[in-house]
Amino acid sequence: MVKIIYSKKCLEFGQPGHPESPERIRSIYEHLKDDCEIVQPMAATEADILSVHTADLVQQVKSGRFYDADTPAYSDIFSYALLAAGGALTATELMLGGTLSMSLMRPPGHHAGKGFLGGFCYFNNVAIAVVRALNDIDRVAIIDFDCHHGNGTQDIFVGHDRVLYVSLHQSPLYPGTGFRSELNCLNYPVMAGSGEVEYLDELDRALDEVSDFEPGVVAVSAGFDTFKEDPLTNVVLDVGTYEKIGDRIKSLGKPILTVLEGGYSEKLAECVSSYLKGLER
């Protein structure tokens, strides 16, 4: 059974009309709470954040002195971002102890690079989790199936010889990166309008590379904005496709941790639940 890492504190910030809303997480939690064990996230420390980000970025988020139209300087965002990073660290601890888990915390993280925030992301949760895992594990693969390219994750790990990053994403689309692979960052752009068949084809190619890398563990940046009703994007997957994605990732036969990234449709909870069903098979 997958453990869900969640604290209702992550519902405390938001802005009317912003797609990255507390309602996203509330809906998933309500959908899963009766069938999953809920685990509270540990809070990340500043040292954890500094393991991937610059002191300048940490200072900006802490002080609220930054401007990004998509990524508001919410009051106390620093502590919420620490808790979301802590959710990812909790997922690492559970994984190293042999338990499947998914962190449902927000804000998401994969657009935050070493020295920059953006795209609803302040600190890179999955990257912080991976750096922690690298203390115990020789090689870690990151699979990012959010509809947007994880430019932040790529920025943090490009050239790192113990990390493989594979990303499937709609292209062209925000943030305008990931057209081609760079070193250990393998990018699989998919066209607007792509459905399950084309998508799973690309995923299989990406997972072959993950297998060849022989990682000790797999970290997943799970975004559900590839769903056909998502308001921000144009890939057209069905709810049931996520079960197939989960099943394929599970078939790698490695310990897995999952961190939530995007997903903005009314059926986000069903998509997440479908993915977990695949992982649990």
Active site residues: 111
Nearest distance, CB of residue 233 and Zn ion, angstroms: 7
**Residue type for 93, please?**
E
Q: Is 218 in a helix, a strand, or coil?
A: strand
Q: Which residues bind Zn ion (CB under 5 A)?
A: 146-148, 223, 225, 262
Structure token pair of residue 111: 């657009």
Nearest distance, CB of residue 280 and Zn ion, angstroms: 24
Nearest distance, CB of residue 261 and Zn ion, angstroms: 6
Instruction: Give residue for tokens 């909790």.
Output: 90
Which residue, judged by CB position, is nearest to Zn ion in the bound state?
262
What is the distance between the terminal CA atoms of the chain, rounded to a whole angstrom? 10
Residue with Cβ nearer Zn ion (113 or 262): 262
**Residue type for 28, please?**
I
Instruction: Give residue for tokens 């559970």.
Output: 94
Q: Where are the alpha helices (DSSP H) in 180-259?
A: 196-213, 239-250
Contacts of 167 (CB under 8 A, 6+ apart): 144, 145, 146, 149, 150, 153, 154, 178, 185, 186, 187, 188
Residue with Cβ nearer Zn ion (87 or 262): 262
DSSP string, 129-188: HHHHHTTT-S-EEEEE-SSS--HHHHHHHTT-TTEEEEEEEESS-TT---SS-BTTEEEE
| Residue 195 CA: distances (Å) to CA of 201, 228, 241 | 10, 8, 9
Residue with Cβ nearer Zn ion (89 or 260): 260
Residue with Cβ nearer Zn ion (147 or 206): 147
Nearest distance, CB of residue 230 and Zn ion, angstroms: 9
Nearest distance, CB of residue 57 and Zn ion, angstroms: 20
